[in-house]
């Protein structure tokens, strides 16, 4: 867990350092604030690429971000996915499907260059919940001396709760069209719920048998803006 | 914008390269899956207890279709049945004496049969490793042809290889 956190902080610090140098000269003594509200809707365009490399799990997810005062953004993320385990020797076969929702905030660490500058490097926090359906699982316990044991575990529904520390960036490629990424350190809050059979993959979280996961997303999003105001506040 | 765009592009290339190297296969099982009763042999000398090495020990199970023998001087591991609630093992302290007889021709019974009584509980290790049975030793019954006494010191038998479960005194 500590390793993940250190990696995430190192990544964020690297980004912040490089961007901070750009901003020092141009902002002078003014703090430029947003003159519009922004609502952006995006999808993780990289998950389908990862899905194509993985036969056992599929995940699809999207994000909605809404600008709040002080360069804080409300983030609501959601998605769904499936997982399939089909192992032999020993046998372990089952499928899972789940949906998830994450809610949290991002705080932009990048000073605006202009009121229309919505690029950002941010850090954030999330709370997430996933609703998992697991099929009946077939298993074997192989024993070369006494003989193999075969059995099934009934299908069940489970709920996963996890928290995330996240960071990343958004860059406005064209007017309203953003690309960006999130890196995430995820921490399962109720790992004991999966003692009987931890799902191989929980969409939105990752490997269900891990209590801490390091992950990333790459988003393409489109933003709409309104409430145009001409406000420029001096820096304190 | 240009600098930020380059930054993003570089990250995309790195991640694509990493993803390309990944294909989902069953992860190798790195967790220990052998669950056995760890047994040590001891001798009480005065008030102290010390390991005792048997001369030429043999240790084998009576309940498996496949018979196998584990040879060690003073440490043995007994596997337990995943199907029934007791498992019998035979401990021969000196296998070279198997032909010994008393003068009338009756073979000397110098080996002991240990019957472990246990309950089992299925335990999920990981998707890579699957399940194993952990056991709780409820008791052990033995003959006393060679050994003096037997003691369960830890009834929980799991995949911890550093735990000793049973002590046998000669």
Within-domain flag for A235: no
Cβ of B82 within 8 Å of Cβ of A92? The answer is no
Provide the residue ranges of all domains of chain B, joining segments of one domain with +.
31-169
Q: What percent of chain A is modeled with pLDDT above 90?
A: 64
pLDDT in tens, B111-140: 889 999 999 999 999 999 999 999 999 999
Q: Does residue A221 contact residue A180 with C-beta atoms inside 8 Å? A: yes
ipTM above 0.85, yes or no: no
Average pLDDT over residues B70-94: 86
pLDDT score recorded for residue A16: 46
Mean pLDDT value across chain A: 85
C-alpha triplet A144, A145, A150: angle, nearest 5°: 60
pLDDT in tens, A27-67: 456 678 877 889 999 999 999 988 888 878 899 999 999 99
Mean pLDDT value across chain B: 80
When scoring A146, A147, A184, A218 by the number of chain B Cβ atoms within 10 A, the one with the most, hence best to mutate, is A146
Residue ranges of A 168-197 with Cβ closer than 8 A to chain B: 169, 171-173, 179-181, 195-197
pLDDT score recorded for residue B12: 64
Q: Cβ of A14 under 8 Å from any chain B Cβ?
A: no
Average pLDDT over residues B32-42: 87
Cβ of A141 within 8 Å of Cβ of B132? The answer is yes
Residue B92's pLDDT band, with cuts at 50, 70 and 90, is: confident
A–B interface: beta-carbon pairs under 8 A = 92
Within-domain flag for A117: yes
Within-domain flag for A233: no
CA–CA distance, A233 with A231 (Å, rounded to integer): 6
The more confident residue out of A200 and B98 is A200
DSSP reduced 3-state for B9: helix
CATH code, domain with A99: 2.40.160
Helical (H) or strand (E) element with B123:
strand B112-126
Number of structural domains chain A divides into? 1
Closest Cα in chain A, distance from residue B22 (Å): 7
Within-domain flag for A209: yes
pLDDT in tens, A183-225: 999 999 999 999 889 999 999 999 999 999 999 999 999 999 9
Q: Is B2's pLDDT higher than 70? A: no
Closest Cα in chain B, distance from residue A119 (Å): 9
Q: Is A129's pLDDT higher than 80? A: yes
pLDDT in tens, A148-163: 999 999 999 999 999 9
C-alpha triplet B7, B12, B14: angle, nearest 5°: 95
pLDDT in tens, A74-87: 999 999 999 999 99
Written as six digits, the tokens of B78 are 């007994």
Residue A197's domain comprises 2-226
pLDDT score recorded for residue B136: 96
Q: Is A229's pLDDT higher than 90? A: no
**CB proximity list for B85: less than 8 A, separation 6 or greater:** B117, B118, B119, B120, B138
Long-range contacts of B26-29, Cβ-Cβ distance < 8 Å, separation of 24 or more = B26/A87, B26/B127, B26/B128, B27/B126, B27/B127, B27/B128, B28/B128, B29/B125, B29/B126, B29/B128, B29/B129, B29/B130
pLDDT score recorded for residue B101: 54
DSSP reduced 3-state for A22: helix
Q: Is B76's pLDDT higher than 70? A: yes
Q: Is B84's pLDDT higher than 80? A: yes
Cβ of A171 within 8 Å of Cβ of B1? The answer is yes
Within-domain flag for A236: no
Q: Is A232's pLDDT higher than 60? A: no
Residue A26's pLDDT band, with cuts at 50, 70 and 90, is: very low
The more confident residue out of A22 and A124 is A124
Chain B residues inside the 8 Å CB shell of A139: 130-131
Residue B5's pLDDT band, with cuts at 50, 70 and 90, is: low
């Amino acid at each position: 867990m500590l390793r993940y956190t250190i990696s995430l902080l190192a990544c964020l610090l690297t980004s912040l350092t490089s961007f901070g140098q750009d901003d020092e000269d141009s902002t002078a003594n003014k703090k430029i604030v947003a003159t519009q509200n922004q609502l952006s809707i995006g999808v993780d365009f990289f998950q389908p690429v990862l899905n194509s490399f993985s036969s056992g799990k599929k995940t699809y997810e999207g994000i909605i971000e809404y600008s709040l005062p002080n360069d804080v953004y409300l983030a609501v993320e959601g998605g769904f996915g499936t997982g399939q385990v089909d192992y032999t020797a020993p046998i372990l076969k089952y499928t899972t499907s789940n949906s998830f929702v994450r809610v949290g905030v991002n705080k932009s660490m990048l000073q605006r260059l202009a009121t229309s500058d919505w690029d950002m490097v941010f850090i954030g926090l999330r709370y997430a919940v996933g609703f998992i359906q697991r099929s009946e699982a077939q298993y074997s316990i192989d024993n070369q001396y006494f003989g193999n044991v075969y059995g099934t575990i009934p299908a069940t529904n489970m709920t996963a709760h996890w928290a995330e520390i996240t960071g990343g960036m958004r860059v406005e490629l064209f007017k309203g069209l953003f690309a960006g990424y999130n890196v995430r350190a995820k921490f399962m809050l109720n790992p004991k719920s999966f003692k009987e059979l931890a799902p191989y993959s929980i969409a939105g979280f990752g490997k269900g048998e891990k209590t801490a996961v390091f992950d990333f997303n790459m988003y393409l999003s489109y933003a709409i803006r309104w409430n145009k105001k001409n406000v420029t506040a001096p820096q304190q | 914008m240009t600098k930020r765009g380059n930054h993003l592009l570089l990250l995309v290339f790195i991640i694509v390269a990493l993803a390309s190297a990944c294909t989902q296969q069953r992860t190798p099982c790195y967790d220990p899956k052998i669950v056995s009763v760890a047994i040590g042999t001891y001798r009480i000398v005065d008030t102290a207890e010390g390991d005792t090495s048997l001369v030429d020990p043999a240790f084998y199970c009576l309940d498996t279709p496949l018979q196998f023998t584990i040879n060690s001087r003073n440490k043995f591991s007994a596997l337990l049945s995943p199907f029934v609630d007791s498992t019998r093992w035979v401990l021969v302290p000196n296998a070279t004496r198997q032909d010994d007889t008393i003068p009338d021709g009756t073979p000397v019974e110098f080996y002991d049969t240990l019957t472990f009584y246990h309950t089992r509980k299925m335990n999920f290790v990981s998707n890579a490793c699957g399940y194993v049975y952990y056991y709780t030793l409820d008791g052990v019954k033995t003959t006393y042809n060679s050994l003096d006494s037997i003691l369960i010191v830890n009834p929980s038998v799991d995949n911890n290889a550093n735990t000793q479960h049973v002590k046998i005194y000669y």
